[in-house]
Structure 1
């Protein structure tokens, strides 16, 4: 490459591992969803105006945007060699200029303005007018950059761009730079480890003692549908939380926050997962479809607003866990006891508090968590609510044991009372682990991996089966 000529860098997908148009769209949905949607619909056919308006609704912290390390290193080496490094982007000028300042690049930038979308031929034209034909080297990442590459002296191609191979065939100097994304990273964004929470769909079947394939098979399909629905919402949640995740010590490594998976890819994955979830749910039965829709709507509301509201966020988390139990009952056509729902809700309130306690214990300052309504000073209040949930769950379980329905399903009442001991130990242990920051950020996922805790739960379940007379029914004696 000619060292005396400027190095011109595209921004979206080249210098950055993300796209600022989609960054502002999702940031806008998180801060002012109605204005963002109105702007998007009104200016869908005017991309330059759309970019400007979205940048106004949701200004980005450009210092947090993920950069392509190889391109950033090239820019640094070029600057150290005395070469001018210029950003030329179809993104809005109000974002490109601060990005150039942040990384010490040339004050002269080329970017979109309202009424003028700097992309493809338009970008090539302005660069040739400024630097002359072949008077610059250009780095880009998509077929839209082909007109610019053809007018540059050297073409730097980031990622896999099949159409750029024609440049080599024409005898042009082409430099390939690593880029792109992997299916493995997308799978990580779907959080398959969280699917374990959907075993809660089996709870209604177990509580009703319905151990038959006719009940089990639709519930297993329901678990698959719920897993897809949950993954679709996890993707939306991550896209709404980009800035907050980038400020977090560990969440900054998530696929979208780190730029390892493009936002556009996440949006497509969301649509496909949601379509699969709703299609399977409709095939099971209308009731289950309604529960899945309720779960997705409440999850979206949680991602957009509710998770930032103190105490309401914990109640919503508990409701989302409880909905899984209701979903299992709907899929398997199992009658669920009102006692059961009243019993599990305070348990999930406790676990919601444990989730926040863990986050606050592991926080590095007393400031409120990014995107949340809590700071470390709130740990005491969360602990108190966790104890209230624990005591409430145990009290409701006791009342159930002496109810008509409880005595019908569990005739040996004293053994059912005995099961309350390991149940209480499990809840107390979970709260203590959260208080000392000794567990995962999601208590349900932690519980499904915690061998000691699983042992306590198995003892509880065994005692309940004993109280129900199931052991003697299954094994005689």
Structure 2
């Protein structure tokens, strides 16, 4: 990258140039998390007034500019320019107070050019303002989009961030040019879908396993349901990450997530949300109206959780347990299998306990005594979380025991007392999960941890093996060989 050696000011665009993100979209999602109704009303009413839209969203969002991810090569250019004694100025279509604060955060010039709530400083208008301040060819300019071509045309040296088409055009007219390459990668987009979380959707197989319905049609319907639920879950993970940008940037590990780090632009995430939601609802409608209803309700509840409920202590854990339980209901709806009420009464407290384990793990691994960002729990809540987790374990085991006396259990299991034996490894697994969470010895997500935990998997397989034997399935399968 060629070093610029004259003393003209270096003017930097902000969105997509100095920053790896866009302040307008940052404000929208931060505001949506604080006041969804007002944010949507402001956004719709000011679609044709971008300067006013930016001002109102900035007011709602209270955005922390010091946390916004920067483009390292552009920051290096600005650092080198300052070392040479040059003035480094931000010129942006973003709202003026936010640009001023961003300049302070990075020790840049106090002279700022930005939108003021009435005028949107973009394209030709930005070019006119800069020419008025410095004269034609009196400044160098760094930008990242075709709208910046009007400004590059008036600059002495053009610094182009990722916009290859504009760079070729500038190079063709012989203007001095510096290119900063990069951009988002498909791998990072796929990472934002959290595919490792899809393993949770094996819960849709539980009704099929509980009913011992292993015919090809049922298996196909269950796996189609898993595809729909995986797309639905990923669409909500995208929304959750966009709403949690500030909290993630303050987190020890979550700051590396694609949107928090700026690896993937926010508009790409919004587009992927629409596509994944369409896939989820489309596949669901092809199975049954009942399954479509469950998927739609799951997405609505997940959105409510992301927008508000996850910030409500204790309510968040109950909603998490409900979302996991809905996966079991979805499995029944996708396959048309009847599920016993006892199964749901068993499943909910299991996931209530695991929801507490999730928070226990986060608090145990936290490096300070401050409350978890965006969650409201502190280390003082650990004993209460442990107690609720313990109650969940007891309630689940009692429900499992009572199920053994139902007509469905009597019909399915020839050796019914073995159901009680199967409760031993199940209890061991649940108590072990709570203990590991208390001591901070597992992943931030207990379900993902459970799918990788060899000892825990062994206990679950032991439980299933005993229950299959009690049902006479082993005898049936092996006698057919």
- Whether TM exceeds 0.5 here: the answer is yes
Q: Residues 95-174 of structure 1 correspond to what in structure 2 (within 5 A)?
A: 95-174=98-177
* Alpha carbons 2:204, 2:330 under 8 Å: kept: yes
Structure 1 runs (4+) greater than 4 angstroms displaced: none
Residue 452 (structure 1) shift: 1.3
The answer to whether residue 224 in structure 2 is matched with residue 182 in structure 1 is no
Q: What's the counterpart of residue 444 of structure 1?
A: 447
Residue 60 (structure 1) shift: 0.8
* Alpha carbons 1:419, 1:460 under 8 Å: kept: yes
Q: Residues 52-451 of structure 1 correspond to what in structure 2 (within 5 A)?
A: 52-451=55-454
Q: Structure 1: which 5+ residue stretches go unaligned? A: none
Q: Structure 2: which 5+ residue stretches go unaligned? A: none
Which stretch of structure 1 is more off in the superposition, 406-415 or 168-177? 406-415
Measure the CA separation in 2 of the matches of 1:47 and 1:161.
27
Q: Deviations over 1:180-229 (max 9, x none)?
A: 11111111111000001001100000001100111111111111111111
Q: Deviations over 1:371-398 (max 9, x none)?
A: 0021111011000111100011001111
* Alpha carbons 2:160, 2:166 under 8 Å: kept: no
SS in 1 for 2:119: coil
Q: What's the counterpart of residue 46 of structure 1?
A: 49
Measure the CA separation in 2 of the matches of 1:2 and 1:45.
42
Measure the CA separation in 2 of the matches of 1:71 and 1:172.
19
Measure the CA separation in 1 of the matches of 2:163 and 2:49.
28
Measure the CA separation in 1 of the matches of 2:153 and 2:166.
12
* Alpha carbons 2:31, 2:60 under 8 Å: kept: yes
Which of the residues 468, 474, 479 maps onto 1:476?
479
State how many pairs are aligned: 477
Residue 179 (structure 1) shift: 3.1
Q: Deviations over 1:227-276 (max 9, x none)?
A: 11100000000000000000101001100001110001100010111111
Measure the CA separation in 2 of the matches of 1:411 and 1:221.
32
Residue 2 (structure 1) shift: 4.4
Normalised by the length of structure 1, the TM-score is 0.99
SS in 2 for 1:346: helix
Q: What's the counterpart of residue 464 of structure 2?
A: 461
Q: What's the counterpart of residue 22 of structure 1?
A: 25
Kindly report the root-mean-square deviation, in angstroms, between the aligned alpha carbons of the 2 structures: 1.0
Q: Deviations over 1:323-378 (max 9, x none)?
A: 00111111111111111000111001011011111111111111110000211110
Which stretch of structure 1 is more off in the superposition, 146-155 or 405-414? 405-414
* Alpha carbons 2:146, 2:163 under 8 Å: kept: no
* Alpha carbons 1:143, 1:164 under 8 Å: kept: no
Measure the CA separation in 2 of the matches of 1:351 and 1:59.
34
Normalised by the length of structure 2, the TM-score is 0.98
Residue 162 (structure 1) shift: 1.6
SS in 1 for 2:18: coil
Q: Deviations over 1:62-110 (max 9, x none)?
A: 1111111111111111111110000000000010001111111110100
Measure the CA separation in 2 of the matches of 1:174 and 1:271.
38
SS in 2 for 1:91: strand
Measure the CA separation in 1 of the matches of 2:395 and 2:291.
29
